[in-house]
């Protein structure tokens, strides 16, 4: 049966790929995005587009929607430290307004784009959902606050919700990929070096207690991430996540790749040299961040089908070259 969904932030990286997956399976999709960090051309063909703020979702959300997928948030850790008020206002204030709109419209299903930044520096790895949450930035704290808000909404008002805590999302889905300004994620930064847009990649610290001395992170393909969102909606539709429950699931591959492994994989996939600059450790960078995705597997039936780092890099590289050709 065709379902109708509102995708907030659907002109951004992850939101656009999820919207595309919903359309491909035959759902009706409305994207709500103010284009402050998203791109109108990233809204997939076939989706209705509303240019607007999530704070004003009540203007458009009504009982004809079967659920909401919420991606509308600022996500730059460094900026959140410099401008915490921007993150509290948008990420928390916008989510509070969205929850009120859901309640008023009688829409009872929500998938929330949460983050591994809610955990801060983990005491043990792999990180499970029961790990202590101690975010080290206003960005992570704002996302954790929204998780708490959603939990209260579920308990008090019968919302069914799934918060998906991403680790490092990467790769691309055809013409939909990563293009943050400024860019802060490792794989697109290394690809910029391969393209000649950046002279070298900085490797922050090479004396960590890891096999090659550089930080280890868990990378997940954006298409695998999108599939988890669809499975979350399906779980709520069949009452595997019933009204009143707030399910929190980590999304990751369960294994990690070091900074040097990423750089070497980019060299191999692109055939380009990637000069390195060794720099001092960055404060607060844990040596290893790897997810346990057991809950997503058990409750949602999700297993990443694209765990190979070379495949992730190859898709990101194809998107980067496409963007370079378009801008030539």
Mean pLDDT of 44-60: 97
Question: Can you give the pLDDT at residue 189?
Answer: 96
Annotation says 204 is catalytic: no
Rounded CA separation 231/302 (Å): 7
DSSP class of residue 176 equals B
Local confidence band at 326 (pLDDT 50, 70, 90 cut-offs): confident
Active-site hit among 139, 173, 208, 219 = 139
Q: What is the pLDDT of residues 181-224, one digit of tens each?
A: 778 899 999 999 999 999 999 999 999 999 999 999 999 999 99
Local confidence band at 286 (pLDDT 50, 70, 90 cut-offs): confident
CA distances (Å), 53 to each of 29, 62, 149, 222, in order?
17, 16, 19, 24
Number of neighbouring beta carbons within 10 Å of residue 78: 11
Mean pLDDT of 223-234: 98
Percentage of the chain surpassing pLDDT 70?
A: 100
Mean pLDDT of 269-285: 91
Q: What is the pLDDT of residues 12-32, one digit of tens each?
A: 999 999 999 999 999 999 999
Number of neighbouring beta carbons within 10 Å of residue 209: 8
Question: Can you give the pLDDT at residue 182?
Answer: 79
Q: With a threshold of 0.85, does the pTM exceed it?
A: yes
Taking 80 as the threshold, does the pLDDT of residue 261 lie above it? Answer: yes
Contact 92, 53 (CB under 8 A): no
Taking 80 as the threshold, does the pLDDT of residue 328 lie above it? Answer: no
Question: Can you give the pLDDT at residue 183?
Answer: 83
DSSP-derived 3-state class of residue 254: coil
Which residues, 6+ apart, have CB-to-CB distance to 327 below 8 Å?
none
CA distances (Å), 193 to each of 62, 174, 213, 285, in order?
46, 21, 22, 23
Q: Which residue has the tokens 């950046």?
A: 198
Angle at 71 between CA 45 and CA 141, to 5 degrees: 165
Q: Which residue has the tokens 């697109």?
A: 188
Which residue has better confidence, 167 or 40? 40
DSSP-derived 3-state class of residue 173: strand
Tokens read off for 34: 């103010």
Nearest to 322 by CA among 225, 226, 178, 190: 178
Q: What is the pLDDT of residues 89-145, one digit of tens each?
A: 999 999 999 999 999 999 999 999 999 999 988 889 999 999 999 998 999 999 999
Mean pLDDT of 228-253: 97
Whole-number average pLDDT of the chain: 95
């Amino acid at each position: 049966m065709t379902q109708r969904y509102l995708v907030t932030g659907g002109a951004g990286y992850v939101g656009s790929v999820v919207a595309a997956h919903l359309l491909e399976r035959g759902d009706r999709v409305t994207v709500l995005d103010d284009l402050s960090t998203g791109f109108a051309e990233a809204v997939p063909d076939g989706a209705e587009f509303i240019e607007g703020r999530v704070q004003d979702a009540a203007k458009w959300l009504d009982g004809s929607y079967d659920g909401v997928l919420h991606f509308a948030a600022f996500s730059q850790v460094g900026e959140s430290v410099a401008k915490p008020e921007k993150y509290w206002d948008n990420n928390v204030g916008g989510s509070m307004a969205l929850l009120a709109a859901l309640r008023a419209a009688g829409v009872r299903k929500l998938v929330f784009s949460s983050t591994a930044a809610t955990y801060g520096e983990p005491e043990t790895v792999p990180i499970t959902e029961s790990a202590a949450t101690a975010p080290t930035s206003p960005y992570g704290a704002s996302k954790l606050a929204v998780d708490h808000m959603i939990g209260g909404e579920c308990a008090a008002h019968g919302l069914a919700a799934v918060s998906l805590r991403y680790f490092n999302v990467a790769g691309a889905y055809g013409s939909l990929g990563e293009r943050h300004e400024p860019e802060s994620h490792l794989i697109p930064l290394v690809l910029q070096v391969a393209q000649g847009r950046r002279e070298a990649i900085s490797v922050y610290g090479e004396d960590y207690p890891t096999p090659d001395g550089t930080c280890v992170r868990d990378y997940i393909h954006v298409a695998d991430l999108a599939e988890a969102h669809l499975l979350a909606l399906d779980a709520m539709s069949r009452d595997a996540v019933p009204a009143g429950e707030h399910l929190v699931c980590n999304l990751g591959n369960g294994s990690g790749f070091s900074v040097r492994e990423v750089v070497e994989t980019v060299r191999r996939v692109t055939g380009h040299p990637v000069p390195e600059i060794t720099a001092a450790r960055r404060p607060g960078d844990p040596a290893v961040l790897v997810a346990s995705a057991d809950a997503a597997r058990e409750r949602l039936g999700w297993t990443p089908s694209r765990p190979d780092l070379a495949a992730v890099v190859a898709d990101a590289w194809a998107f980067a070259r496409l963007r370079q050709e378009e801008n030539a």
